[in-house]
Amino acid sequence: MIRRFPLVPTIIVVAAIALLVRLGIWQLHQAERKRALLASYAAAESMPPIAWPTVPLKDADLPLFRHATGVCLRVIGQRASGGENRSGEPGYVHILDCATGAEGPGMSVEVGWAKNPDVRVAWPGGPVSGIIVPDRRNRMRLVAASAPSGLEPSRTPDVSTASPITPAIHLGYAATWFALALAALIIYIVAVMKRGRRT
């Protein structure tokens, strides 16, 4: 008696393999996108300084890693986040949110570094220059080139640390998905062959 071909398990396995392959291809695209993004950041580092944008920008237009100057008219908020000083010592960077006028997106300035997250920052605002980097809350902030009294300068922004997930990591994820797809295919072929021998 000839057993029927295992149609349902085959459909399930094929669907799983297709999903794994698709995930692998997506990771390849992510690696290419991240490579292009880091290249644009590296090019921005060597461009002339700009004035801090006074109008809201789309994410794709943010001038990340550009040298820039701006004016903090008044401080309207303060926060601390994990970071390093220029010696690589871990601690907290202190970020001040500023008003820049009646209109516009405002400006966040990373004024400096300290070991204490609760240190009182004595900076009233004014002209400031530095490098624009990504910011989780306001999309971008200016890392000041110098620090006020009581703080040390923050670590100079570096494109190599712009994102914790590098193109190489995306390629590693892609290889993992493709390897899982291949393993699933081999296991299923072996299972079907064994089933055929038994019948």
- pLDDT tens digits for 140-150? 999 999 999 88
Band of pLDDT at residue 94, cut at 50, 70 and 90: very high
Whole-prediction pTM value?
Answer: 0.72
Q: What average pLDDT is seen over the chain?
A: 88
User: pLDDT, tens digit, for every residue of 34-86?
Assistant: 888 888 888 888 889 999 987 778 888 889 999 999 999 989 899 999 999 99
Residue 151 CA to residue 111 CA, distance in Å, equals 8
Rounded mean pLDDT, 18-29: 96
